[in-house]
Each structure stands twice: as structure tokens, then as C-alpha cells.
Amino acid sequence: MSDSASPSGNATRDAKRVGGWTGAARRYAVRTLPPEKLLPDTQPAYMASWIYVFGVLTVSSLIVAVATGCVLALEGPGWWHASSVGKYVNSLHLWSVELFMFFMVIHLWGKFFMAAWRGRRAMTWMTGAVCFLASVGTAFTGYLVQQNFDSQWISGQAKDGLNAVGIGAWFNVLDFGQMLMWHIVLLPLVLGLLTAWHVLLVRRRGIVPPIDALAPEPDEQSAATAVQP
Amino acid sequence: MAVEMAYSELAAPVDLNHPGHYVHWGVVQISVANLVVIGLMVLVFVAAVLLPFPKGRGRR
Ligand code: HEM
């Protein structure tokens, strides 16, 4: 097309809804998450509180847990059970998860007492709640694949509960291979995707104002971010 | 002897080689370790709400 070289030409193309599915996807992405919202350079003054830090602390410890988990996967159980560096990385994996759960619970309490689902943030709350459930499952399957008496005892106890609710035949906690796959493939994938969605939703809506405060006036923001999607 | 010293310095601050301690409160039963973690979370939550946040740049 001849008019696509000039910026006004691009605008015409966008307005004309041309470009097939790639064009439609681009228009959708830019409309819902314009760059100013995706990577903002300012935040409202009410964000200056420690309680807003716990979401990022949760992300950070999740990153350490996933990274150390990848190292464990590269080296294998002979390494993480026997060598001192292996035991150290194994411990980093465990303790980053302890911190992850710790920070996530404080984050959850903070958002609960702020009623942070206000202002079209229900999906942020719900993706967070499902993140919590997925984390419990990931931690649980992690304990099941320790290959020690602890994991044997935990799976022995858990199998009765899971049989009682009728899913034991399909989700078999005594099946080491299946639990390892849930722990290192399925649940981390779900948790990673949910976390990305959760954080993008926060960027899209902006952080929630305290209960009695007003969000910054739309005209104080740039024209692009003022439009509520 | 020196080796033993080195190991004991690296040992866990809490001796874990025994069954855990539990508290019972009616139908509620919880290990002391879990109770301590919950207590720490409450403390950190209260601190996060009360402690002033350092002033930063780039805020409206
Ligand atoms: C994998 C676990 C989680 C991660 C990595 C995570 C991360 C984040 C981050 C980085 C933010 C930005 C604002 C802030 O930090 O305060 C946020 C906001 C939020 N989170 Fe989470 N979160 C997680 C779990 C949860 C859970 C369990 C809940 C509650 C059920 C929740 C509810 C919310 C809500 C409602 C907001 C929006 C608050 C606002 O708009 O200011 N999150 N989360």
C-alpha cells in the first residue's frame, strides 16, 4: 500500500481495520496496553507504602524458585542429593519457595483489607486467588518428589484424602513420574501464565487507590492512558 | 575436632532430629513451626502497614 509510509497512513490503516489477524492483534494489544501503561514512568503518590511492595517481592522469589528449579533439572537428583553445591541449590529452591508463599500471603492480606478488587479489578483478584491455589499444588507436588521418607509419608496420607474425593485414580500421588511432571511442567506453566496475566492486568488498570482516596484525574495522565478500555 | 567445630557451626539453628512440637487448642492442632511462620507473617504485615515508606522520585 502506498499510504503506509507516512504516520497518517498508518493511522488510516489502523482505522480501516486492515492487516488481517496480525493487524487486529496489534490494534487490540496497543488499545488494551499502550506502552505508557505497560511501562509507566510515574505512579500515584498513594503507592508510597510498603504494602505495595509485596507483589513484586512475590514475583522476585518466584523467579528465584523457577531459576533454581531449572538448575536442579539440568543436574539431576544424584547431584542435588549428594554434592554440597547441589544441596545448596536445592536449599535455595526450598527457601525461595518459603519466601514466595510468605510474601504472597502478606500480599493477599494487603489486597483483601484494601478491597483491591474495586474499580474493575475483579479479574486481578481472581487470577491472584487461582495463583494461590496453583502455588499450593506446586508446593505439594514438590514435597512429593523429594524421594525421602517425608515425601513417602506425605503421599501416603494424601492418597487417602484424594481417594475420598474421587480423583485418586487419575491424580495418583504415589506415581512419582506423574507428580514430577505436575511439579516441573504443568503447574509451573499454569503459575507462570497466571502471574503474567495478573501483572498485566495491574498495569492495565493502574494500582488501586486507598479506599477513601480518588484516583489521579484522567486529564493529569497522558491522553493515551486516560481512555478506560 | 576442628572438623566437628566447622560442622556444628553450620548446623541448623533448631535441632530438627526429633518429631515436631505441636500445640493443641480444642479441635485445632498446629505445629509450633507453622505457628511461628504465621506469627512472623502477621508481624511483617503490621510493619508494612505502619512503617513509613522512604520518599521517592517520579510519583504524582
Ligand atoms: C503468584 C502469586 C502472585 C504474584 C506474583 C502477584 C503479583 C502482583 C503484583 C506485582 C501486583 C502489583 C501491585 C502490588 O504489588 O501491590 C499485584 C497486584 C494485585 N494482586 Fe497479586 N500477586 C500474586 C498473588 C495474588 C493473590 C493470592 C491475590 C489475592 C487473592 C492477589 C491479588 C491482587 C490484586 C487484587 C492486585 C491489584 C491491586 C492494585 O490494583 O493495586 N495477588 N499482584
SS3 string, A190-213, reads: HHHHHHHHHHHHHHHHCCCCCCCC
Is the pLDDT score of A203 beyond 90? yes
**Distance (Å, rounded) from C-alpha A208 to C-alpha A116?**
6
Question: How far apart, in Å, are the Cα atoms of A207 and each of A46, A53, A93, A102?
Answer: 9, 12, 30, 22
Q: What are the grid coordinates assigned to B24, written together?
A: 493443641
With H, G, I as helix, E, B as strand and everything else as coil, classify residue B23: strand
Q: What are the grid coordinates assigned to B41, written together?
A: 507473617
Q: Across-strand partners of A175?
A: none
By C-alpha distance, which of A92, A90, A97 is closest to A72?
A90
Is the pLDDT score of A48 beyond 70? yes
Task: State which fold the A47-210 domain adopts.
Answer: Cytochrome Bc1 Complex; Chain C (1.20.810)
A58 neighbors A103 (Cβ within 8 angstroms): yes
Q: CA A42: distance to chain centroid?
A: 23
Domain map (residue ranges) of chain B: 2-50
Residue nearest to atom 15 of ligand 1 (CA): A55
Task: Look up the pTM and report it.
Answer: 0.85
How many C-beta atoms lie closer than 10 Å to residue A116's C-beta?
20
A43:B60 CB<8 A: yes
Nearest to B48 among A45, A54, A220 (CB): A54
Express each pLDDT in B18-29 by its tens digit: 888 999 999 999
Q: What confidence category does residue A7 fall into, taking pLDDT thresholds of 50, 70 and 90?
A: low
